[in-house]
Structure 1
Amino acid sequence: MTFRFYLPTRVFFGEGVLNEYGDFLSRLGRRALVVTGRRSALTSGALADFEALAQRLGLNWVVFNEVPANPTLETVAKAVDLARQEGVDLVIGIGGGSPLDTAKAVALLVPNRAAATRLYEADLPEPPLPLVAVPTTAGTGSEVTQHAVFTLPAKEIKKGFSDDRCFPVAALVDPRYTYSLPRDITIDTALDTLTHAMEGYLSRRATPLSDTLALEAVRLFAGQKEALLAGNLLPATRRDLMYATTLGGMVIAQTRTTILHTLGYPLTYSYDIPHGRANGYLLPAYLEFIQPAQPAKVNSLLAALEMASIEEVWELIRQLLPPPERIPAKELERMASLAATNTSSLAWTARQATPEDLLNMLRRSMG
């Protein structure tokens, strides 16, 4: 048995970890750029906790709070400009996946001369600024990955970016920061976690260690699915979901995501369906497609989910999510054609997918 597993991020998990373990920030820099969205860092209490810690440590900081739900490279450019103007030497990402992904790009671009609009193509030889991630949603797992996703309006797509230097130096994962999230966002982000774990488990890049983490993430979700259905989101549920999302992030840091995510991106870009919700809609059809190629693994996922069949997954999605918007056939064909151009995602998927297979998954889910 031979495999690789790379995770350079130090993870601190639990209530109050920022205050308890955050002293190391003073060794990383003296002036920080805090990258966040317009609300989550404030409503969760994470920004207040960071500011109290920074004052205690004698750190200076400036806040960039303009990250939207689906950031573009223009957003990144604004944050990079502010970071350079302020002479920061440390980046703190606070929020869901969008602020954390933006923080990764900022940390990499600030020491380099390339414009943000050339993130996907520029030569970026200089090492990034130290980056620390403080997640406020239980969904993306971005706090422990080298990946970031941005919206590219000119191409009408969302596109992933990966660089091993974009792993955060540390992740301070406090479930308390998810307590203020409403039920719908909690469900959407939990489904993002679930699809990370399942796609990673079914990926051609999966390893025995990533499989162990993936199954545990699925089990954690399964243990809280009744709470999600009932809207009974107690601290124990928040803790399990936050732990699951960090495990799911560790999985996709090794395996990447597969064609399910690729099919979900245009649903978010063109129809403003939240990312995790789009993945949730697609999940049962994706499992149906993969099952002939990986029957034993699909059965293992169903067992971890405490279900006997994929039909039960369909029913869970119907109960958790509002009925999907019915998308015109021509639009589904366009989305399938777009997904068919993502050769890397297709290559990592456990079963070879034709354009017709991709279209069928979309039709089953959204048609």
Structure 2
Amino acid sequence: MNYKYHMPTKVFSGKDCIVNNSEVFKSLGTKAMLVTGRSSAKKNGSQDDVIKALKAEGIEYVIFDQVMANPTIACSYQGSEFAKQHGVDFIITMGGGSPMDAAKAMALLAKQNIKEEDLFNGQYSQDVLPIVAVPTTAGTGSEVTQYSILTNDAVESKTSIASELIFPKVAFVDAKYMMGLPIATTVNTAVDALSHSVEGMLSIRSSVVSDALAKESIKLFVKCCPVMCEAIKQDDLSLINESTRYDLMQCAVLAGMVIAQTGTTAGHAMGYSLTYFKDIDHGRANGLVLPGYMAFVEKQKPALIAEILSVMGMTQLSEFRDLLDVLLGESEQISIADVDKYSAKAMLTGNIKANCKVAPTEQDVKSIFMERFDLA
């Protein structure tokens, strides 16, 4: 089997790993730009820990806290101008996928004059600000990927910058920052991580290395499911303890390493429109359509789906569907007109065009949507 494996991010994992490894920042420069959302990094303690570590090393910092959920291209340009104005040497980003994705684009744009129409063409010089990533949710795995996924209103969807230049240099993975996350956010981000691992195994770029990472990630997800299901049942956030949070963080990091090698497939292609047009959380959107896509793949590659289910400790796809129904609850409503629109948009993505072991047609995508949203 021919494959390439490249994961240049140095990962520090464990409680207080930022403060305990503050000397890492010294090698990156003397002035940092902190990139966050408006409040979460302050509330979960990640910003305080980063500032404490920077002060310990005598490093100056400025804060850009204007990143919204599903960050826009405009936000990335705004942040890059902020970085230029303040003459920063590197970027530290804290949060879920939104701040991390935005920060990666800012790191690129702060060093290169790239027109908006050329932002996604992959033609970049080697100059980019170093990035340090601190995930505070367990879902996107952006702390270990070369992707910056931005809301692109021109195509009414999300579009990815994909370049090894924007791999974070360092990732600090500390589960304590997740302790206050609501149940729904915890579940949605966990399902996002699961979708990365499953879709990684369904990708034409999968390898023995990526599959090994994917399987370990899937096992961690399944290990955490009884706790998440019980928390949903009792509506009790305290049931999701730090040990479970740690396992979910490791699940997400491993899944991020998977898609750094494989990319994603039809599940993400279909989920993008659910997020853009219906404001359905990204991970939840993926989870809503993933069983349907797996059922489609099963018709041509039953052994592949059986292998994935076996890692979950299941024998039937219906068991997986039932589990996600418990985790995600009742699905939102979409119309037949929505299905037509979303299916057409999904077919334009590289996720389907170039990355599926079993690629659906537009009619197949429509059928998956129709069945999932009870429109058949």
TM more than 0.5: yes
Give the counterpart letter for 1:209 in structure 2: V
**Alpha-carbon shift at residue 40 of structure 1 (Å):** 1.9
Cα offsets for 1:26-58 (capped at 9, x unmatched):
111111111111122112100000011111111
**Alpha-carbon shift at residue 201 of structure 1 (Å):** 1.1
C-alpha separation between the residues in 1 aligned to 2:266 and 2:161? 16
Q: Secondary structure at the match of 2:259?
A: helix
Task: Tell which deviates more after alignment, 243-252 or 344-353.
Answer: 344-353
- Within-5 A mapping of 1:2-41: 2-41=2-41
Aligned equivalent of 2:261: 254
Alpha-carbon contact 2:32-2:60 (below 8 Å) kept: yes
C-alpha separation between the residues in 1 aligned to 2:357 and 2:210? 15
Structure 1 residues 363 and 46, CA, compared in 2 at 3 Å: closer, same or farther? same
**Alpha-carbon shift at residue 299 of structure 1 (Å):** 1.0
Cα offsets for 1:103-143 (capped at 9, x unmatched):
11111111112245642147431411111111000000000
- Within-5 A mapping of 1:212-227: 212-227=212-227
Aligned equivalent of 1:80: 80
**Alpha-carbon shift at residue 342 of structure 1 (Å):** 1.8
Structure 1 residues 4 and 123, CA, compared in 2 at 3 Å: closer, same or farther? closer
Aligned equivalent of 1:124: 124
Aligned equivalent of 1:328: 335
C-alpha separation between the residues in 2 aligned to 1:306 and 1:40? 35
C-alpha separation between the residues in 1 aligned to 2:307 and 2:53? 44
Aligned equivalent of 1:161: 161
Alpha-carbon contact 1:146-1:253 (below 8 Å) kept: yes
Give the counterpart letter for 1:203 in structure 2: S
Identity %: 38
C-alpha separation between the residues in 1 aligned to 2:208 and 2:126? 34
Alpha-carbon contact 1:74-1:116 (below 8 Å) kept: no
2:245 equivalent to 1:238: yes
Aligned equivalent of 1:278: 285
2:313 equivalent to 1:313: no
Structure 1 residues 344 and 229, CA, compared in 2 at 3 Å: closer, same or farther? closer
Aligned equivalent of 2:45: 45
Alpha-carbon contact 1:77-1:115 (below 8 Å) kept: no
**Alpha-carbon shift at residue 158 of structure 1 (Å):** 1.1
**Alpha-carbon shift at residue 155 of structure 1 (Å):** 2.0
Aligned equivalent of 1:358: 365
Structure 1 segments unaligned to the other structure (5+ residues)? none
Cα offsets for 1:45-100 (capped at 9, x unmatched):
00000011111111111111111111111101110111010000111111100100
**Alpha-carbon shift at residue 193 of structure 1 (Å):** 0.3
C-alpha separation between the residues in 2 aligned to 1:104 and 1:257? 19
Q: Secondary structure at the match of 2:113?
A: coil
Give the counterpart letter for 1:194 in structure 2: L
Aligned equivalent of 1:265: 272
Give the counterpart letter for 1:294 in structure 2: K
2:151 equivalent to 1:144: no
C-alpha separation between the residues in 2 aligned to 1:38 and 1:230? 31
Task: Tell which deviates more after alignment, 298-307 or 69-78.
Answer: 298-307
C-alpha separation between the residues in 1 aligned to 2:277 and 2:243? 36
Q: Secondary structure at the match of 1:353?
A: coil
Alpha-carbon contact 1:111-1:126 (below 8 Å) kept: no
**Alpha-carbon shift at residue 230 of structure 1 (Å):** 0.9
Task: Tell which deviates more after alignment, 229-238 or 136-145.
Answer: 229-238
Q: Secondary structure at the match of 1:42?
A: helix
Aligned equivalent of 1:300: 307
Alpha-carbon contact 1:259-1:346 (below 8 Å) kept: no
Structure 2 segments unaligned to the other structure (5+ residues)? 232-238
Q: Secondary structure at the match of 1:197?
A: helix
C-alpha separation between the residues in 1 aligned to 2:161 and 2:95? 19
Structure 1 residues 55 and 117, CA, compared in 2 at 3 Å: closer, same or farther? farther
Q: CA RMSD in A?
A: 1.3
C-alpha separation between the residues in 2 aligned to 1:71 and 1:318? 28
- Within-5 A mapping of 1:105-116: 105-115=105-115
